[in-house]
């Protein structure tokens, strides 16, 4: 699971495109760049992620919204292109998690 913030905060600036099918993860500080490279080294970007985006509503409150499952499409962690994730599913089969 991944809980990205879709606004600039704490060294990150993640963007969801207008169609809601692509997330671009930008790091904006050297500290977050190192974390991004560490995730790359561990293969963390290669696994599909179920994404609940942290967004702010009109009142400034934080909410989590399911936006789908995403997989990494482009591994170029730099400030200009970011790391790109494309949506692979809009729904999850929760029955497979039921014991």
Domains: count for the chain: 1
Residue 48 resides in a domain = yes
| Element housing 48 (H / E) | none
SS (H, E, C) 63-79: EEEEEEEEEEEEECCCC
Residue 1 resides in a domain = no
Spatial distance between the Cα atoms of 45 and 23, rounded to a whole number of angstroms: 13
Residue 72 resides in a domain = yes
Residue 99 resides in a domain = no
pLDDT band for position 20 (50/70/90)?
Answer: very high
- Domain with 44 in it: 8-92
Convert the pLDDT of each residue in 46-78 to its tens digit: 788 899 998 888 998 889 999 999 998 866 555
CA angle 93, 96, 99 (to 5 degrees): 140
Look-up: residue for tokens 């099918």? 21
pLDDT band for position 90 (50/70/90)?
Answer: very high
Please name which of 14, 11, 10 lies closest in space to residue 2, comparing C-alpha atoms. 14
């Amino acid at each position: 699971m991944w809980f990205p913030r879709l606004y600039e905060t704490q060294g990150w600036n993640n963007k969801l495109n207008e169609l809601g099918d692509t997330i671009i993860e930008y790091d904006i500080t050297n500290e977050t760049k190192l974390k991004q490279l560490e995730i790359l080294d561990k293969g963390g970007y290669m696994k599909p992620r179920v994404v609940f985006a942290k967004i702010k509503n009109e009142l400034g409150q934080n909410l989590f919204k399911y936006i789908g499952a995403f997989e990494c499409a482009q591994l170029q962690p730099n400030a200009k292109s970011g790391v790109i994730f494309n949506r692979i599913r809009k729904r999850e089969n929760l029955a497979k998690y039921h014991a």
